[in-house]
Amino acid sequence: MLLDDLRLSEPAIETAVDYKPLTVTPETLLVDVITLMNQKRIHSCSLSRVNSPLNGLTVHPTGSSCVLVIKNTKVLGIFTERDIVRLTADEVDFRKVTIAQVMTQPVMTLEQATFQDVFAALFLFRRYRIRHLPIVGQKGELIGVISHESIRRILRPVHLLKFMRVADVMTTQVIRASMSASVLTLAQVMAEFRISCVVITEDQPPLDLGQFVHIPIGIVTEEDIVQFQAMEVNLSEVLAQTVMSTQLFVLNPEDSLWTALVEMQRQQTRRLVVSWDRGIGLGIVTQTSLLRVLDPVQMYGVIQTLQQTVK
C-alpha cells in the first residue's frame, strides 16, 4: 500500500457550501416556513399535482433541511427538521407561531476566511452536536451554509481515512512484556495467542489508587523473530531490551487514520502503538486494520452507515 497511490486531496470546500440557503425573516409564520421546507418533497411526488395552498408559493430550487432566520443580512437563528419534530410532539399550532419564537439562537457560525477544509466543519459538527453550519463574512453577513448532507456529497471513500479515528479500528487486546523477557518467551507468546507483536512496556506505580501505568518503550514483532532466526541467535539468552525497536511513534485514539497511514509509511512498519490516559490505556493499529477500512466492500458499508446517519 503506497502512500502516493492514496494521496489524499482535500475536497473543494466551495462545493460543500450551499450559497442559496433557505432564509426567512423573523416575522414569518411557522406554517409558511414548513411549507417552504417541504417544497422539494411535494414537487418530487404525485402530490404535486393536487391543488393546495403550496401552489401559490415560490419554489425554493434546492429544498432544505434547515431555515436561517435573517435580519439585515445577519443570521439571528436557525430552524431544522429536528425542531419540527419537537414542536409536533408538543402539539404546537404552527399557524399561530412565528419563526422567531421557536428558532434556535444564538447560532454557531464559521467565518469564511477561517474555513480551510471540510474537516474543520466536521469537527464542529461533532463537538457541538449540530448538523448545519452557516458560513459568514467578516462583517457577519450570511455567505451560505454547510451541512452533513453537502459534505457527504463531496467526500470520496479515501477521505474516510482522515475522518475516521484510530479508536475506530484499534484493538485493545494488546500483549505486553517487560524489558527483561527473553526473545524466546516473546516468540512463545506470539505463537500461543496468534499475534504479530508484543509491546514492551515499563510499568510505573499509579499516581493515586488507580491502575498501574504501562509506558510503551519498544516493540518486538514477528519480522524481528524471523531476522533473529536467520542470524542464528540464541533466543533464550537474548533479552527484549537489547533487540526491541525503540523508535516508537505513539498514537492517540483521537488521531486520524490518515495520520496512522502516513507514519506507517514513514517508519516502514506494519503496526503502531496507541496509548492514552497517561499510559493506563494501550492499543495497537495494524496495516491490516487500515486495509480493512480501504476494502471496497467495507468502505461501501461505512458510507451506507454514514448516509443513514445523515438521514
Share of the chain above pLDDT 90, in %: 35
Condensed to tens digits (0 to 9), the pLDDT of residues 156-171 reads: 666 677 778 899 899 9
Q: How far apart are CA 201 and CA 179, in angstroms?
A: 7
- Ranges 148-152, 204-208, 277-281: which has the least confidence: 204-208
Helix axes 287-294, 257-267, angle to 10 degrees: 130
Instruction: Specify the 3-state DSSP secondary structure of 120.
Output: helix
Average pLDDT for 73-90: 90
The reply to whether domains 4-155 and 167-294 share a CATH topology is yes
**Is residue 297 scored above 80 in pLDDT?**
no
Using alpha carbons only, give the angle 90, 80, 77 rounded to the nearest 5 degrees: 100
**Is residue 58 scored above 70 in pLDDT?**
no
Domain boundaries, given as residue ranges, for the chain: 4-155, 167-294
**Is residue 285 scored above 80 in pLDDT?**
yes
Q: What residue ranges in the chain does DSSP mark as E strands? A: 23-24, 66-71, 74-80, 110-111, 132-136, 142-147, 176-177, 197-204, 213-221, 271-276, 281-286
Q: Specify the pLDDT at position 24.
A: 94
Residue 28 CB partners (closer than 8 Å, separation 6+): 69, 98, 99
Is domain 167-294 annotated with CATH 3.30.420.40?
A: no
Q: How far apart are CA 250 and CA 269, in angstroms?
A: 13
Q: What residue ranges in 205-266 does DSSP mark as E strands? A: 213-221
pTM of the shown model: 0.53
Condensed to tens digits (0 to 9), the pLDDT of residues 237-246 reads: 999 999 998 8
The gap from C-alpha 147 to its chain's centroid, in whole angstroms, comes to 14
**Is residue 305 scored above 80 in pLDDT?**
no
Q: Specify the pLDDT at position 209.
A: 59
Q: How far apart are CA 85 and CA 108, in angstroms?
A: 21
Domain 4-155 top-level CATH class: alpha beta
Beta bridge partners of 34: none
